Amino acid sequence: MSDVRTTCAYCGVGCGIIATPDGSGGAVIVGDAKHPANFGRLCTKGTTLGHTLSLEDRLLNPMIGGVQATWNEATDLVAKKFKETIEEHGPDSVAFYVSGQLLTEDYYVANKLMKGFIGSANIDTNSRLCMASSVAGHKRAFGTDTVPGTYADLDEADLIVLVGSNLAWCHPVLHQRIIAAQEQRGLKIVNIDPRRTATSDMADMHLGIAPGGDVALFNGLLKYLGDAGKIDAEYIAKHVNGFADAMAAVTPYSLGHVSSLTGLTPQELEEFYCTYAKTERVVTIYSQGVNQASDGTDKVNAIINCHLATGRIGGAGQGPFSVTGQPNAMGGREVGGLANMLAAHLDIENPDHRDMVQDFWNSPTLPTQAGLKAVDMFKACASGKIKALWVMCTNPAVSMPRADDVAAAIEVVDFVVVSDIVEETDTTVLADVLLPAAGWGEKDGTVTNSERRISRQRAFLPLPEQARPDWKIICDVAKKMGWGADFSYQGPHEIFKEWASQTYLSVLAGKDLDLTALSEISVDRYEGLEPVQWPVRPDGGDTRFFENGGFFTSDAKARMLAVHAQANSAICDLKYPYILNTGRVRDHWHTLTRTAKSAVLSQHISEPFLQINAADAADIGVETADLVQVNSPYGTAVLRAQVSDRQQVGQVFAPLHWTGQFSAKGRIDVVVPDLVDPVSGQPELKRTAVGISKF
């Protein structure tokens, strides 16, 4: 096989890749110079994708109760058990927990099966842990989950504010892009993060904010902008509601007050505020440090408020910009993969929207209210409410907060199905039925990156043994549940075509998500589909939103929100005196199932660690390389101490990646509480009060 143009398996930058199969199961990987997300650049994870293609550790056959089975036996059993459970206990007794690593076509049929045919909204995704607060913040401000800008804005901005984002490690190619602009034309970068990271090192200004100080910081900025006469009164009069209330809410946020809430000096605040106030072209990039918080949605709206108040949104080089963690978190939220959304950005609470979706699918039913979000879904497993669970393409026994309790909750469920590419994970060992899924390089479909750009993932390797694409596994089960005619797709092209047609409903409802130009897409055009942003315009067109208003609310105006700084969710005391922050490292991904296969990637960091300030390390009596025990009321992890001045006193950091397979006590999410944002349902993964002792 010759070169195949595809898309990286990892982060939401969505880099284009050219894969050249080597004929023995591997491939040579280079960046795709024609892809507008990366123009040929790749980071270490993308470059080494060819190292991760071996079949070692792969789940290659269906398994029932630990015994190899045929596909027919496995899908018969899954369909029978789900049908019996629904008949006996109702549709809300079953649940799907899916993943931002699924392709859009997989996500689409999973959502269609659960919401349109089973009749429950109990489908949620690990994207709930990634960007649900951005979705909720967008909906509150814009009326829809719309990312206003594009990557091209990074090339046009004069100031980039990076909030809660270690872009250099987590979205490296975007970081390379802004560093090039910094070097070539003096773009200024401000990084707001409690830790000093690789991103902070390259920034013009690093603000080492106290954990959870973001609402106070941006409320203070809004007040400063008002006092400095930088409000765009004309834009607000035409396009924004809620301005007066939002300004009233920020009245108390003087420099002194914000300083007391953020730990930043008044001088630091004034320098940042002044830089923001005098720069017209500002992009605020935010990521998990904003979203993964019990006030994550308020943080998002505090950021958006500043852009709306100054009219700095939708123009070249202007706007708030949420960058997603996973390769297809965006595609999932587009097709309704969250428990509180319908496909095409329609609202589950809206009866007109429900009718439109049900008519489109000609489906027997549709839920009338939101389903269980991730944390609540596993609580419902523990309480016995969920009696059949299907986990697709993710490892919640490692990645969910209170991970030990989540593993125990899955064990309570009567019937557990896991589709995965890996045979043994902390979650697959809990399953009654294992279904072997196709992996990256073996499956075909589309993903959407952080700038709304749809790209093809293309197969360049044969399906190994009995592995099947996720869309096919889901459709095979749906057929056996009695809905054969509605899930009779011959391939991902037919699913994509139906999905693109369904976005007509978004247009009809006055929403943003328009792929209708692709609704008659031929097989050949789908095969050769070039990366394309939505809204998809026949002429290419301008893909930014909101320069001239046009928000997706009833009066086409955006909403500024009056938001308030909350008391710290992590209460430190003598037993738990440190604040734990969790996150990624540069060369690993999620729960290591792919990146641990590359020796090159493991050279960077090969074991779990706890980064700790020298003063705290001295108090505890530990040095770099000592083992330390991290405790909370929910669990214990044992990690290698890494003494570093990158941490502030009283704060520690641990990576999220390590699983029971790689490090018996390295699972840091066992200590994290399941506190969630009340609006978005996203868990607080960035602020946990912990105790630390030498092991």
Q: Does 8 bind ligand SF4 (CB under 6 A)?
A: yes
Cα distance between residue 239 and residue 548, in whole Å: 8
Backbone angles phi and psi of 34, in degrees to 5: -90, -5
Of the candidate residues 13, 59, 203, 380, the single one contacting ligand SF4 (CB under 6 A): 13
Residue 290, CA atoms < 13 Å, CB-side half-sphere: 38
Of the candidate residues 4, 5, 15, 168, the single one contacting ligand SF4 (CB under 6 A): 15
Closer residue to ligand SF4, CB minimum distance, 172 or 317: 172
Q: Which range touches ligand SF4 (CB under 6 A), out of 11-19, 132-140, 240-248, 251-259?
A: 11-19
CA-to-CA dists, residue 546 to 122, 182, 470, 614, angstroms? 33, 26, 36, 47
Nearest distance in Å: CB 38, ligand SF4: 6
How many residues touch ligand SF4 under the rule CB under 6 A: the total is 14
Strand partners, 517: none
Q: Omega of the bond prior to 436 within 30 degrees of 0, cis? A: no
Query: Pairing mode, if any, of strands 433-436 and 63-64?
Result: antiparallel
92's CB contacts (< 8 A; 6+ apart) are: 120, 122, 371, 385
Nearest distance in Å: CB 189, ligand SF4: 17
Nearest distance in Å: CB 16, ligand SF4: 9
Closer residue to ligand SF4, CB minimum distance, 11 or 181: 11
Q: Does 320 bind ligand SF4 (CB under 6 A)?
A: no
Cα distance between residue 200 and residue 289, in whole Å: 14
Closest CA to 449 of 191, 147, 157, 681: 147
Q: Does 672 bind ligand SF4 (CB under 6 A)?
A: no
Q: Does 11 bind ligand SF4 (CB under 6 A)?
A: yes
CB-CB neighbours of 125 under 10 Å: 31
Nearest distance in Å: CB 149, ligand SF4: 18
Closest CA to 592 of 612, 606, 578, 582: 606
Task: State which residue has the least CB distance to ligand SF4.
Answer: 46
Nearest distance in Å: CB 397, ligand SF4: 24
Coil, helix or strand at residue 332 = helix
Residue 87, CA atoms < 13 Å, CB-side half-sphere: 7
Nearest distance in Å: CB 442, ligand SF4: 18
Cα distance between residue 106 and residue 586, in whole Å: 28
Nearest distance in Å: CB 571, ligand SF4: 36
Q: Which range touches ligand SF4 (CB under 6 A), out of 6-14, 59-67, 264-272, 390-398?
A: 6-14
CA-to-CA dists, residue 167 to 405, 632, 654, angstroms? 31, 29, 17
Nearest distance in Å: CB 7, ligand SF4: 8
Q: Does 10 bind ligand SF4 (CB under 6 A)?
A: yes
Interface mask toward ligand SF4 for 156-185; x: CB under 6 A: ---------------xxx------------
Residues numbered 32 to 61 that lie near ligand SF4 (CB under 6 A) are 38, 42-43, 45-46
Q: Does 140 bind ligand SF4 (CB under 6 A)?
A: no
Q: Does 594 bind ligand SF4 (CB under 6 A)?
A: no
Residues in touch with ligand SF4 (CB under 6 A): 8, 10-11, 13-15, 38, 42-43, 45-46, 171-173
